Amino acid sequence: MRILLAEDDVLLGDGLRAGLRQLGFQVDWVRDGEAAERELRAQSYTAAVLDLGLPRKDGLQVLASIRKVGLTTPVLVLTARDTVPQRVLGLDTGADDYVVKPVDLHELAARLRALVRRSHGQSQECLKAQDVVLDPAARTVRQGDQPVAMSTREFDLLQAFMLSAGRVMSREQLEQQLYSWGQEVESNAIEVHIHNLRRKLGGSLIHTVRGVGYMLLREAPVQ
């Protein structure tokens, strides 16, 4: 999952970015509200962690602005403003969840995973398609009764597909989900990872839509 972290506290932001990366997230970090809004408008993020007390543009203003133009990116508000009216205001402005500082890293990660599941219409913790089960928290994949070893990129790509099962995704959309700033993307990287997933999980799971992209099939095609 690629997320945007908007936090102006350098120590906290650096710690959250490092910790979330260790838990399997791809993290882009900005330190002011104008940068947060610009990136949310320009990039395709799975979710965002948005501090309210940002310089240059308050987090609530950022939230109101992106909702006004129709952006539906799940947003978890991170703030020191621990009052009921502030929490109500944030939720009414368009936040999907609210965490008060100091925050536990594992709770933050769990809340992000829950936000992403809900935004994709998934109610269960584990994602399922055909005979494949992916556990985002444990970062494990099973096919039937057997565990399937995955590289980090393969796991992230499969998770992106499973969250959007039945929807065609272009190579560019998949790249945006897998790579954060500064990470080099080889021209055929997505195709290589898809080839590896098909080799490990069979050819019926990921369907090529010629000239458009790829789609994960929730149910196996009828023979």
Token pair belonging to 145: 């009764």
Overall domain count for the chain: 2
pLDDT of residue 187: 73
pLDDT of residue 86: 74
Phi, psi of 195 (to 5 degrees): -60, -45
One domain, residues 170 and 94:
no
pLDDT of residue 189: 87
One domain, residues 71 and 16:
yes
Token pair belonging to 93: 């402005």
pLDDT of residue 53: 87
Question: Which of 99, 119, 139 delimits the end of a domain?
Answer: 119
What is the spatial distance between Cα 7 and Cα 10, in angstroms, rounded to a whole number? 8
User: Which domain CATH number covers 101?
Assistant: 3.40.50.2300
What is the spatial distance between Cα 174 and Cα 167, in angstroms, rounded to a whole number? 12
- CA neighbor of 200 nearest in space, from 164, 150, 166: 150
Cα four-point dihedral sign 170, 70, 103, 28: positive
One domain, residues 7 and 113:
yes
One domain, residues 114 and 190:
no
Query: Does a structural domain hold residue 221?
Result: no
What is the spatial distance between Cα 223 and Cα 221, in angstroms, rounded to a whole number? 6
Question: Which of 102, 119, 136 delimits the end of a domain?
Answer: 119
Q: What residues are paired with 218 via a beta bridge? A: none
One domain, residues 53 and 149:
no
One domain, residues 138 and 111:
no
Question: Average pLDDT for consecutive 10-residue bins of the chain (223 residues)?
Answer: 94 95 92 96 92 91 93 90 74 86 91 89 85 93 95 92 91 83 72 94 92 90 65
Q: What residues are paired with 142 via a beta bridge? A: 133, 147
Cα distances (angstroms) measured from residue 99 to each of 5, 15, 212:
14, 16, 39
One domain, residues 175 and 115:
no
